[in-house]
Structure 1
Amino acid sequence: MNNLAQVHQLNPYAIQLCATGRWIAQRHWVPATGGNFSIRSSAQSCLVTASGKDKGELSPADLLQVDFDEISFSCQGKPSAETALHCALYRHYPDAKAVLHTHSVQATVFSRLISQPQYCFDGYEMQKAIQGIQSHQQALLLPVLDNTQDMAALAAKVTQLAGTQTLPYAFLVRGHGLYVWGDSLEQCKRHLEAWEFLIACELERIKICGLV
């Protein structure tokens, strides 16, 4: 184990992120080593999961230190392909402390059913689990972005969206999955669970009633 990996083994933030990763994996939201997680480690860097790692078996040694601007890292391993999206969110939201990306069945299927660039959730009490939402009657608009293998272009789209509208600590990538973030890892985990619940509920409603 190199010196940086040893440091990560003692980093409480790295330990917390790995515990959260196991919690997510137990819910089958990151199959086949999919998804990626990160936690801010300084004003200009984060720890991000290495590519190809089973998220149910993460250890701090599986996290890479990444600089936001250079997207550089100084540890053996390859950072997740979507690292640029994590960095874009941290740059735009200086209070963001964690980013979680999942590939749940319900979020992936839901994203393919929605042809519009955003989807409105309303009437669900669970909406209040999202920071800043005070009532089930408050409309909650979830952006849905087209998928692409060009992560720089997708990151630029996320930055553009964040600069022109208030994002609900989340967005969907069509046919791909869900991204959420928060001002603490605990808040980010709550946002993830709430959005997965809301998407699952709306998907069930669509099965019964159809899109409206």
Structure 2
Amino acid sequence: MKNYKRNDLKHHANVGMVFFYIANNLKNRINPFFFPVLGNQAIMRLEMRPEEYVIKDAKKAQDTEADLLIIENKIAAISENGKKNSLNEQTESRLIMISEIKYKKQICEIGKRIYEQGFIAANNGNMSIRISDNEFLITPTGVSKGFLTPEMIVKVDRQGNVLDGEYLPTSEMKMHLLVYQERPDIHAIVHVHPPYATAFAIAGIPLDQAIMPESVIYLGTIPIAEYRTPSSEEVPNAVKQHVHDHQGVLLENHGALTWGKDLEHAYYIMESLEFTAKINWIAKQLNGDRELSKKHVQTLVEMKSKVGIKGMTPQGVETPDGHHAKKITPIREQSLSEQELNIIIERVSEKIINELKKHL
């Protein structure tokens, strides 16, 4: 009997250990925030020892955006339950690091997009993100933005001093810092050289025509910032006069610059800017860059105000009754140079002679 009990106890102990390891393994693998039923238990667990669990999850968060979302949810849960102060400095430091990893990955992703879109060539262009009042992540100089990796991104302060990173920050950093200084609501900036927008910048033509409802509402007017030598102190001054009333500028004979509430927003403004420039250019080739009437533009401005988009808007034009749009820019006249005419005459003559030879 004694042996039976001993074996029975040993059996139960083994079974218990097995269940213990299974439960412990599941606890580490399954995040209770994915299961509403276990949500309260998860919060209680965090309330007991928030530092331990947040640090553990932070270490796992370097690979996927899903993990980053888990971290944010847990911090929110701790904060709601009055336990935010229990996070020690080590935990807060690690969470800041994880947040920076997330932003660096986003910069790399947007860099790939602008490269694939043909907005840049070679090592052109630069981007940045504001991560605190005095800290910014910015792309390095001398590196293709289509092939960025997180460790290439540089952290700088408001004065442009490098706080972290092995690369030198972009030489056009001053332009970024000026926008952040003037606009506390701006958290990201994109500077690239998209072909159509840059062509308008070279021609000195602002994007200020009311040619499409979308550009009136979401883009507004994009002015020309007067040419200044790139990377010089003069460039920020040229941008400064436009930064409060617009979402971006065309840098004369240089490229385009946009800013937004986050990097995705700043990128989409740039994409819209380039699309508008392309449509505008094509319409001009057809001598059909007609602008919407002031009446229609006023309706669009009201819509713009309702969705909370600020900034200057194209004015529209006066149109005759019954007309919705009108062309007011000069008719584009195209003439051939003497050299072009000679080339055409030579080619036509050559074809005529070749055809005559076939019948002789």
TM range (shorter): 0.7 to 0.9
Change in Cα spacing, 1:80 to 1:176, as seen in structure 2 (3 Å) is: same
User: Residues of 1 paired with 2:253 and 2:107: CA distance?
Assistant: 25
Which residue number corresponds to residue 121 of structure 1? 209
For normalisation by structure 1, the TM-score amounts to 0.82
Q: Is the 8 A contact 1:99 1:181 kept in 2?
A: yes
Which residue number corresponds to residue 226 of structure 2? 145
Which structure 2 segments of 5+ residues have no match? 1-96, 290-328, 331-360
User: Residues of 1 paired with 2:222 and 2:189: CA distance?
Assistant: 19
Note the aligned Cα RMSD (angstroms): 2.2
Q: For the pair shown, which has the larger CA radius of gyration, 1 or 2?
A: 2
Tell me the alpha carbon deviations over residues 47-97 of structure 1, each in whole angstroms, 9 at most, x when there is no partner.
1100011111111111111112x2111332211111100010111111111
**Structure showing the higher helix proportion among its residues:** 2
**Which stretch has the larger CA shift, 140-149 or 46-55?**
140-149
Report the 3-state secondary structure (helix = DSSP H, G, I; strand = E; otherwise coil) of the residue aligned with 1:172: strand
Aligned-pair CA distance for 1:45:
2.1
User: Residues of 1 paired with 2:275 and 2:239: CA distance?
Assistant: 23
Instruction: Map 1:12-23 to 2 at 5 A.
Output: 12-23=102-113
Which residue number corresponds to residue 162 of structure 1? 243
Kindly indicate whether residue 129 of structure 2 is the aligned counterpart of residue 78 of structure 1: no
Report the 3-state secondary structure (helix = DSSP H, G, I; strand = E; otherwise coil) of the residue aligned with 2:229: coil
**Which stretch has the larger CA shift, 105-114 or 44-53?**
105-114
Report the 3-state secondary structure (helix = DSSP H, G, I; strand = E; otherwise coil) of the residue aligned with 2:249: strand
Which residue number corresponds to residue 142 of structure 2? 52
User: Residues of 1 paired with 2:249 and 2:222: CA distance?
Assistant: 9
Percent identity, aligned pairs only? Answer: 24
User: Residues of 1 paired with 2:231 and 2:105: CA distance?
Assistant: 31
User: Residues of 2 paired with 1:150 and 1:188: CA distance?
Assistant: 21
User: Residues of 1 paired with 2:229 and 2:197: CA distance?
Assistant: 17
User: Residues of 2 paired with 1:33 and 1:78: CA distance?
Assistant: 13
Structure 1 consecutive aligned stretches of length 4 or more whose deviation exceeds 3 Å: 7-10, 160-163
Aligned-pair CA distance for 1:38:
0.6
Aligned-pair CA distance for 1:39:
0.8
For normalisation by structure 2, the TM-score amounts to 0.50
Which structure 1 segments of 5+ residues have no match? 1-6, 134-139
Q: Is the 8 A contact 2:227 2:252 kept in 1?
A: yes
The alignment of Structure 1 onto Structure 2 pairs a total of residues equal to: 192
Which residue number corresponds to residue 265 of structure 2? 187
Aligned-pair CA distance for 1:119:
4.2
Change in Cα spacing, 1:123 to 1:107, as seen in structure 2 (3 Å) is: closer
Counterpart of 1:206, as a letter, is K
**Structure showing the higher strand proportion among its residues:** 1
Change in Cα spacing, 1:28 to 1:9, as seen in structure 2 (3 Å) is: farther
Q: Which has the higher contact order (CA 8 A, sep 6+)?
A: 1
User: Residues of 2 paired with 1:162 and 1:205: CA distance?
Assistant: 28
Kindly indicate whether residue 148 of structure 2 is the aligned counterpart of residue 67 of structure 1: no
Q: Is the 8 A contact 1:8 1:63 kept in 2?
A: no
Tell me the alpha carbon deviations over residues 150-170 of structure 1, each in whole angstroms, 9 at most, x when there is no partner.
52111122223336xx12x10
User: Residues of 1 paired with 2:230 and 2:253: CA distance?
Assistant: 12
Change in Cα spacing, 1:206 to 1:123, as seen in structure 2 (3 Å) is: closer
Aligned-pair CA distance for 1:141:
4.4
Aligned-pair CA distance for 1:9:
9.6
